[in-house]
Amino acid sequence: MKIFNTLTRRKEEFVPLESGKVKMYVCGPTVYNFIHIGNARPMIVFDTVRRYFEYKGYEVSYVSNFTDVDDKIIQKAREEGVEAEVISRRFIEECKKDMEGLNVKPATVHPQATQEIGGMVEMIQTLIRLGHAYKAEDGTVYFRTASFPEYGKLSHKNLEDLQSGFREIKVTGEEGKEDPADFVLWKPKKEGEPYWEAPWCCGRPGWHIECSVMAKKYLGDQIDIHAGGEDLIFPHHENEIAQSEAANGKPFARYWMHNAFLNIDNRKMSKSLGNFFTVREISEKYDLQVLRFFMLSAHYRSPLNFSADLMEASRNGLERILTAADRLRSAKAAASGETLTDKEEANLAEAGKLKEKYEAAMEDDFNTADAISAVFELVKLANSTAGEGCSRAYAGQLLELLETLCGVLGIRTEKKEEVLDEEIEALIAQRQQARKARDFALADRIRGQLSDMGILLEDTREGVKWKRV
Ligand code: AMP
Ligand code: ZN
């Protein structure tokens, strides 16, 4: 299996640290708002990478964090007059709902920065002890980039260029830096902001340290894959390497994977530019499977432009696959013979070649675009050969293959039944009845049933409200 490694700028054969196991860390979102579909790209891409490893029989430990202490979270909390924690808790929950809609598997662990401060303090202490970090007069602790000769190896930047570049930009409050390329590990507390105690001063961690600490705690000093969007290469991932390797004395991640941007009108979709759609907004117009399929229709290292036309094309493409799966299901149910005809044997050999083609595409740095082409070829084969008069075994085997190949991409092949408003209202009325009769077990079952149908209930003072998620 070949993976393009940002560190070496080459496709390299994947060799795990430990045979049969993959340790992966994917930088997660800062939780101060609903995630936008740009944030969804790394989630979908690296969930697919994980699924492919699992398909190959690897045991994958997948860690993805939530950054729950940050200026933007604090700002939002101020606007609403609540604690920062209220904001982060709310948007972690909302993010998890979006992930579920996108069929992104929950990580093995989803650590949160605020729960890991002890580990961060410890790592900063180690860095200070080893001379890789220092405390400035105001209590800020900086990483001493000059103490780590390999600084710049991921982003292929040269420390001297960085120093002169940073010298141009004077950041107020950072006068205590020894070197303009040094970066913050810990900053002193400010009035009205959350803070934690540390040997240097009360305050909060800089952004980069959390990932070094969480990766170490949940995966170990050395990991196989570290991933995220390409905007994280510098400075975030460069700084993570410096922190982890300086503190642990070992190479950190073997393979660094970065997805290209999801653009809109050829500009990066981002909160700050205001040119974004949230996953939630898209879910009101499309089944989120369509969004997932759209994201995987391009190679993860190619920029992808979001447009209604391309979403429409993805919807049609996906529909073609789901219809073929439906037809195979009906053919399987209608047919009886378990013995394959010679022609069917030959066709299954053809299908086997398409499976190989699919795998070859995935093994070439997860080329999901080519893998999807192989799925379409399989659909074509199924549409032209499975149907009335085919054997049960034939329809069954083609269906199983189609389901497996789609499953690795995180695409479910069952069509979602369109749920009618009246059906939902009727179930809600039944649940209200059950509650009145104090049959809470039944009421909960109905809530669960609605949730499986993608309907979320909210009990408010004005009664029960519902929405599709
Ligand atoms: P953030 O919440 O900004 O830290 O972003 C969370 C993840 O989404 C990171 O891996 C980012 O690199 C990624 N990301 C943000 N915007 C985009 C975009 N427009 N396209 C692709 N990835 C993005
Ligand atoms: Zn990170």
- What pLDDT tens digit does each residue of the chain (469 aa) get? 999 999 999 999 999 999 999 999 999 999 999 999 999 999 999 999 999 999 999 999 999 999 999 999 999 999 999 999 999 999 999 999 999 999 999 999 999 999 999 999 999 999 999 999 999 999 999 999 999 999 999 999 988 888 887 877 767 778 899 999 999 999 999 998 999 999 999 999 999 999 999 999 999 999 999 999 999 999 999 999 999 999 999 999 999 999 999 999 999 999 889 999 999 999 999 999 999 999 999 999 999 999 999 999 999 999 999 999 999 999 999 988 889 999 999 999 999 999 999 999 999 999 999 999 999 999 999 999 998 889 999 999 999 999 999 999 999 999 877 677 888 889 999 999 999 999 998 998 898 888 877 788 888 888 888 887 6
Say whether 413 sits in a helix, a strand or coil: coil
Q: Does residue 41 have its Cβ closer than 6 Å to ligand 1?
A: yes
Secondary element (H or E) of residue 88: helix 84-101
Please report the pLDDT score of residue 170 as a whole number: 65
Q: Which amino acid, residue 134?
A: Y
CA–CA distance, 186 with 182 (Å, rounded to integer): 12
Instruction: Please report the pLDDT score of residue 461 as a whole number.
Output: 80
Expressed in angstroms and rounded, the spacing between residue 273 Cα and the centre of ligand 1 is 13
Q: 3-class secondary structure for 211-250?
A: HHHHHHHHHCCCEEEEEEEHHHHHHHHHHHHHHHHHHHCC
Tell how far CA 21 is from the center of its chain.
20
DSSP 267-299: EE--TTTT---BHHHHHHHS-HHHHHHHHHTS-
- Nearest ligand 1 atom, CA 229: 12
pLDDT at 450 (0 to 100): 85
Give burial (CB, 10 Å; 0-12/13-18/19+) of 298. buried
**What's 57's DSSP letter?**
T
Closest ligand relative to 271 C-alpha: 1
Q: How many residues does the chain have?
A: 469
CA dist 298 and 263 (Å) reads 13
> Which residue out of 39, 263, 296 has the highest number of ligand 1 atoms within 8 Å of its CB and is therefore the one to mutate?
39
Chain Cα centroid distance, residue 414: 23
Which residues lie across from 205 on neighbouring strands?
Answer: 186
For 77, the 3-state DSSP assignment is helix
Distance between CA 162 and CA 155 in Å, rounded? 11
Which residue's C-alpha comes closest to atom 12 of ligand 1?
A: 229
Predicted confidence at residue 343, as pLDDT, reads: 96
- Given CA atoms 284, 47, 216, 61 in this order, what sign does their dihedral have? positive
Residue 327 near residue 386, CB atoms below 8 Å: yes
* DSSP-based three-state secondary structure for 124: helix
Q: Which residues of 445-460 are buried (b: 16+ CB within 10 A; e: fewer)?
A: ebbeebeeebbebeee
Rounded distance between C-alpha atoms, residue 7 and residue 150, angstroms: 12
Ligand with the closest atom to the CA of 72: 1
H/E element, 79:
helix 71-80
Total-model pTM? 0.90
Contact 203, 60 (CB under 8 A): no
Q: How far apart are CA 136 and CA 143, in angstroms?
A: 11
Burial classification of residue 410, based on how many CB atoms lie within 10 Å of its CB (0-12 exposed, 13-18 middle, 19 or more buried)? buried
Residue 269 beta carbon below 6 angstroms from any ligand 1 atom:
yes
